Chain A
């Protein structure tokens, strides 16, 4: 099981979650943060600190955000376990679903 980061994160990337994660499994993409499902240990520390409630336990993703169920997992398809976000920089490309999101208005 794992946690996933859904649409509310797009174009915001507050990163409060990164400070909480004990295993450094939250990676940065151009527009959204991504949780590596193999490295996530289900500790739940990230979920309550997101200011926009973008993080959900896999099983608890609300229906309206259901397209984000597999986004994080697919994001890591090429390299399933990079070994810690702090040793990796910002990724070059987002997941297609994220790329397709309309740009968030500033404000």
Chain B
């Protein structure tokens, strides 16, 4: 926990974080589950409630701050990471959270997202991915599957989707995780690890939009299918999934690529052990890309990467301190005067 963060004087409860605003998401929206999980988790942070800020962009996801009884900014489409960067770097005593969506973060906001990740500013970015544009009523998004038929793509969408965690890993992100809206326990654990991470943390949350893209993640939620479809990652553990752990991930010695294999008792030792702290992001990217881009079959969830990198706001603060050490605290009169003056006395 950063020493700058102000701690709460008394223990907080989830109720303390509920605002007085009536929640206006569609009944059945996955956002409710995420809100409940975040409200349930916040007391654990032990940060003073008034020192927590939620910054969002535009989209259904971005209505989130209104329902949190903290300081919040509902800003403009795509720009939340930039705005939050200004807040986080100038107020290191605050715990700053960014709430965004697949459109807000990966379409218009793509540039700001990758730079926030590159800089490693102390921000926790919650990216609600419902694979559709909800607020504007149903256009396809940068994470929609190819060929998706929507209002703006009656003959099917043409562009291949992003894999958000792969993109984040490619943008030098120091903490990347993926979770699912309805798995409260998993979501909470990921939040916990992200909150403890110094620097930028990106959490992609698969979120069901039951109005415009209902069932997008059924294959990952249905008990039967999920076993085969979801690869649960845990640092330090061999990567196994499927009924009775019958499936696992290994590195193909010929190509170096990762692949999914059937596990036999004999070759358990050859299974890849998940190392979230590996210095190189290559294996994490490899894991991210096991997922089928359209069906999401074999999607990894959990914390893919959690490494230490210099934190931008810490370094910025350090530079300010160093400047004072070297030059002394700023003297405005000396600054205005400069080195090259002349005086005009009272005229004779």
Contacts and interface: CB of A to CB of B under 8 A. Distances in A.
Judge A-B direct contact (beta carbons within 8 Å): yes
Contact of A22 (B23, B181, B185, B223): B181
B7 interface: no
Given A20-B28, A22-B210, A83 B182 contact: no
Interface string A13-41: 00000001111100000000000000101
A86 B36 contact: no
A93 interface: no
A22 B182 contact: yes
Nearest to A21: B28
A43 B29 contact: yes
B36 A42 contact: yes
A72 interface: no
A77 B306 CA distance: 37
A43 B25 contact: yes
B27 A47 contact: yes
A28 to B, nearest CB: 15
Contacts of A21: 28
A86 B182 CA distance: 12
A8 interface: no
A48 interface: yes
Contacts of A42: 23, 32, 36
Contacts of A47: 27
Interface string A62-98: 0000000000000000000001101100000000000
A43 B28 contact: yes
Interface in B190-241: 208, 210, 223
Contacts of A48: 27
B35 interface: yes
B34 to A, nearest CB: 8
A90 B129 CA distance: 33
B87 interface: no
B342 to A, nearest CB: 73
A85 to B, nearest CB: 11
B25 to A, nearest CB: 7
B25 A22 contact: no
A84 B183 CA distance: 9
A45 interface: yes
A42 B184 CA distance: 14
B193 to A, nearest CB: 20
A45 B25 CA distance: 10
B36 A22 contact: no
Interface in A34-60: 39, 41-45, 47-48
A83 B27 CA distance: 21
Interface in B65-104: none
A22 B184 contact: no
Contacts of A83: 185
B182 A43 contact: no
B101 to A, nearest CB: 17
Interface in B225-283: none
Contacts of A87: 223
Interface string B11-31: 000000000000101011110
Nearest to B36: A41
B33 interface: yes
A43 B185 contact: no
Contacts of A45: 27-28, 210
Nearest first, the 6 A-B pairs at minimum CB distance are A45-B28, A43-B32, A44-B27, A41-B32, A45-B27, A41-B36
25 contacts: A20-B27, A21-B28, A22-B29, A22-B182, A22-B208, A23-B32, A23-B33, A23-B182, A23-B184, A39-B184, A41-B32, A41-B35, A42-B23, A42-B32, A42-B36, A43-B25, A43-B27, A43-B28, A44-B27, A45-B27, A45-B28, A48-B27, A83-B185, A84-B182, A87-B223
Given A20-B28, A84-B182, 9 more contacts: A22-B30, A39-B184, A43-B28, A43-B29, A44-B28, A45-B27, A45-B28, A48-B27, A86-B223
Interface of B: 23, 25, 27-30, 32-33, 35-36, 181-182, 184-185, 208, 210, 223
